[in-house]
Structure 1
C-alpha cells in the first residue's frame, strides 16, 4: 500500500487472517442448472458491496453436495476473478445456502471483519492491487494464489468494524431507496397490465369489444405500428457539427430500468458508435441480445448526451412516453423482439423491427388518466436514482480515506437521507 498507516495497523498477507481462500467451481454448467433450487452465483451476480440476484442461476441439491469446495455461507466474501476482477461483496444472511462458479471465495478469520475486507477490495487501492496481480493471456483473471499473497494493512478489529459500519450505512440507504424503486416499478407495471392487457381501466364497465389482429380490444381503440406513433432513432450527431464534449451512454451503462452513468468525453475521442442523440423522455432499448435488462427511460440528461448505435432510441410522438415505456417492457413486446432477432453469436434486432411492431393505441382520455397516475411514480423513481448516485459518490470518496487510515474513524461523517435529497 502506498500510504503510511497508523502504528496500530499491522502488515499481513491475506492468507494469514483467513480460514479459507479458494475458487468457485470451474467447468461446464450447461446441463446442471434447474428452474428452482440452490442459488448459484457467478461474476455477474457480484457488484460492489452487494449480491445481485437478478440473473441468478440455480442448481439441485445433489450437484450442490458435490461442490463442497465452492459452497458459500453468510459472512464469506465473494470476489470476481474475470470481467471486473476484484469486485467484492459479502454473502448476506438471506443466502444461508449458495454455491458459485469462477469466483475467489474468502472466509475471514476472527481477526478480519468481512465487510472491512470487501471495503478493501472495492477501494481504489484494492482495484489497483488486483489489477497488478492478474494472470492469463487471452483472458486475465485474479487467481487464488494472488489473493493469498495479497499484502494488506490490518487495523484493530474494533476499527475495522467502525469503518465497515460507517460505509454500510451508505449501502443501507442505497438498498432502501432501491427497494422503493422496485415497488414503484412494480406498481407501474401492474397498472399497465390492468388497464391495457386485462382492460380493467376506469369506466370499463359496459364497454364493448371488437376483434383485431392482436385479439379483442375495446371499441374506439386501434392497432397501429410502433413507427406510426413513436419516432425510432429520430436524431443523430453529424460529425462536422458535433460539439467538442459529449456525454456518452453505452450498453454497459444501462441496468434494468435505469441509466447508471453517461461518460463525459471529447467527441474526437468517442467511439464511432456514439451517435444517437437522446432527450428527456426517450426510451433506450438494446438492439443486441434484446432483453428487458437493457431498457431504460432517459430523464433530464445533460446537454449533448448521446447513446451508442447499439441502442434503438424511441421517442413519443402522438402517444405518451409513459405508455410507451411500459409497453416496450411488457413480456409480449420482449418476446416479439427476441423472436425477430437474427444472428447466431450476437442475436440483434434492427430499427425496422421496432417500427413494424404492433401496438394497441387506447383512447386519449384513458392515456391521459394513465399519465396522471404514472408520472408521479416516474418522478419519484428519478429522484431516488439521483439520491443513490449521490450516496455512492459520497461513499466512494470516503472509502479510500478510511481503509488507509488517512482519517480518524471517530470523525467519519454518517450519511443523512435529508442531506442527499437534492442531487
Structure 2
C-alpha cells in the first residue's frame, strides 16, 4: 500500500490511518484471572497433569515449559473460564516481570493460569497474534509496566489491563503484518534451535575427549576403552603424556571495573564495549548494553580484553560461573573475570568447556552474606587437565567449526532482531503499510 495515499487521523495515542480503529483492550478481548476463592495451595499441586502457567513460564516473550508446574484435575476443572487454549495470551500482573507477555502458539493440552497472570482471549475482528505484537510494542509495554500500584510488590489489576488502548486495521492487514513478524520470529527461533543443538554437540565431544578420555588414539579408536595407558595426577587418572596446571599458569586473568558514573566523559563517547554479568549466557558476545569511552577505560580499573577472551561471572550465585566468549574486544565490570588463554598451552574453547563443567562447583563454594561470590583468586587457582598438543589441535579444529556456525547464527539472530525492532513501531502504528 502506498503510504502517500494514506490519510491519518489524530487519536489519543497519536496519528493513525483513518481506516484503523482505536479501542480499549477490554473491548476486543476477554481479560480473565484466577478468582481468589478458587486459588490453590501446595496440596493441590501434582507431579503431572494439568499445566499451570505463570510469570516464570514467560521467557523472552515465549512460553517456556522447561520448569513446569502441575495442578490437580479437580482444581483445573473448577475454573473453566481460565482454561488456556492455543491462541490465548498471558500477561504477568505482579513482581519485577510485570507486563511480560507471551502467546500460546502451540497445542498446549490441559492448562490453566496461576493468580499472578491475566489470560486474554480474543474476540472477533482481531487476530490474537497481531494483538500479541501490539502488546510487546513500546506503547503497550510502558502502559503495563507503569500502571502498577505503588506498593512493595508491583502489581497491575485486570481492570487496568482492560483500559489499555489498542490500535488495529482490518483483519486482512492484521494478518499481513503478522506474517512479516512471524517469518522473522520463525527464522530467529530456527537459529536458536540450531545453536542449542550445536552447543550440545560441543559439550558431548568435550566430555568424551576430556572427561571420559575417549578421544581417538593413533588408530582412531577410543583411547581409554581400548587400553590407553592412564597415570596418576592430582585430579585423578589422566592419559599418559597429559598434565595438570592452574588456570593462572595458562591464562592471563584480570578483573573488570566500573568507571565513575559521576563523570559524563567516561560514558558519553561509547567507544568500548562494557559487559555486565547479566549479558553472560554461555555464548558469543558481539555487543553490550552499555559502553564506555577511552577516557573511562584509562581512568578506571576496567581492562580491555581481546577477541576470544573468556568472561566468567564471579558475583551473585546462581549467576556465578556464567560464561561468554568475546567476538569483539571489550571491558567488563568488577563482577566479571576475564581470561586470555596462552595458545602455547591450550585453546580458548578447551578452557571454556572446562569452566562450563565446573559451574556447579563454583556455585557450591561461593560465599557471602548478602550475595554469594567467588573471587579472581579462585579462578586463578582452579586446576585444569591439559592434553597433548596433538589432541588440543585436533579438538580445536572440530570445536572451532562448531562455534564458527554458532557465531554466524548469533549474528543473524541479532540482525533479524534489529529488523523486527525497527519494523514493530512503524507497522503497528500504520506509518508503514503493506
TM-score range, shorter chain: 0.7 to 0.9
Q: Which residue of 1 aligns with 2:178?
A: 164
Tell whether 2:397 aligns with 1:385: no
1:273–1:310: 8 Å Cα contact kept in structure 2? Answer: no
Which of residues 89, 92, 101 is equivalent to 1:80?
92
Determine if the alignment matches structure 1 residue 120 to structure 2 residue 120: no
- In 2 relative to 1, CA 386–206 (structure 1 residues): closer, same or farther, beyond 3 Å? same
Answer whether contact 1:273 1:308 (CA < 8 A) is retained: no
Alignment of 1:43 onto 2:55: yes
Is residue 173 of structure 1 aligned with residue 201 of structure 2? Answer: no
* 2:17 counterpart SS class: coil
For residue 105 of structure 1, report the CA deviation from its aligned partner: 2.2
Gaps of 5+ in 2: 1-11, 218-222
**Could you tell me which of 76, 99, 115 is aligned with 1:65?**
76
The 1:261–1:73 alpha-carbon spacing in structure 2 relative to 1, beyond 3 Å, is: farther
Name the CA shift for 1:27/1:211 in 2 (closer, same or farther; >3 Å): farther
Partner of 1:357: 382
- The aligned counterpart of 2:252 is 231
Q: Aligned match of 1:262 in 276, 279, 288?
A: 288
Distance 1:19 1:392 in 2: 30
2:159 to 145, 150, 156: 145
* 1:20-419 superposed matches below 5 A: 20-22=31-33, 40-53=52-65, 56-61=67-72, 65=76, 68=79, 71-81=83-93, 82-101=95-114, 102-203=116-217, 204=223, 205-233=226-254, 244-245=269-270, 246-259=272-285, 261-267=287-293, 275-287=302-314, 288-290=316-318, 294-301=322-329, 305-317=330-342, 318-330=345-357, 333-409=358-434
Write the deviation string for residues 185-229 of structure 1: whole angstroms up to 9, x where unpaired.
Answer: 111111101101111101124420122333321111122222222
**What's the CA shift for 1:125?**
1.8
Q: In the alignment, is the contact (CA less than 8 A) between 2:76 and 2:112 conserved in 1?
A: no
TM-score, with length taken from structure 1: 0.83
Cα-Cα RMSD: 3.4
User: Could you say if the C-alpha distance between residues 36 and 334 of structure 1 is closer, same or farther in structure 2, counting changes exceeding 3 Å?
Assistant: farther
Deviates more, 1:86-95 or 1:228-237: 228-237
Alpha-carbon distance in 1 for matches of 2:286, 2:90: 23
SS at match of 2:105: coil
Matched residue SS, 1:327: helix
Query: 1:415: which partner in 2?
Result: none
| Residues 1:16 and 1:311: Cα distance change in structure 2 (over 3 Å) | same
Larger displacement relative to structure 2 (91-100 or 26-35):
26-35
Q: In the superposition, relative to structure 1, how do residues 151 and 237 fare at CA in structure 2: closer, same or farther (>3 Å)?
A: closer
Residue aligning to 1:417? none
Distance in 2, matches of 1:398 and 1:234, equals 39
**Match of residue 14 from structure 2:** 3
Q: Does the 8 Å contact 2:257/2:333 carry over to 1?
A: no
**Cα distance, 1:168 vs structure 2:** 0.9
Q: Secondary structure of the equivalent of 1:163?
A: helix
Q: Conserved in 1, the CA contact under 8 Å of 2:82 and 2:113?
A: yes
Supply the distance in 2 between the matched residues of 1:335 and 1:95 (Cα, whole angstroms): 32
**Distance change in 2, residues 1:60/1:47 (3 Å):** closer
Is the partner of 1:405 in helix, strand or coil?
A: coil
Q: Distance in 2 between matches of 1:344 and 1:407?
A: 53
CA distance in 2, matches of 1:163, 1:293: 41
> Structure 1 residues 236 and 140, CA, compared in 2 at 3 Å: closer, same or farther?
closer
Task: After TM superposition, give the deviation of residue 321 of structure 1 in Å.
Answer: 0.1
Counterpart-to-counterpart distance in 2, 1:257 and 1:24: 42
C-alpha displacement at 1:341, in angstroms?
A: 0.8
Q: CA 1:93–1:342 in structure 2 vs 1: closer, same or farther (change >3 Å)?
A: same
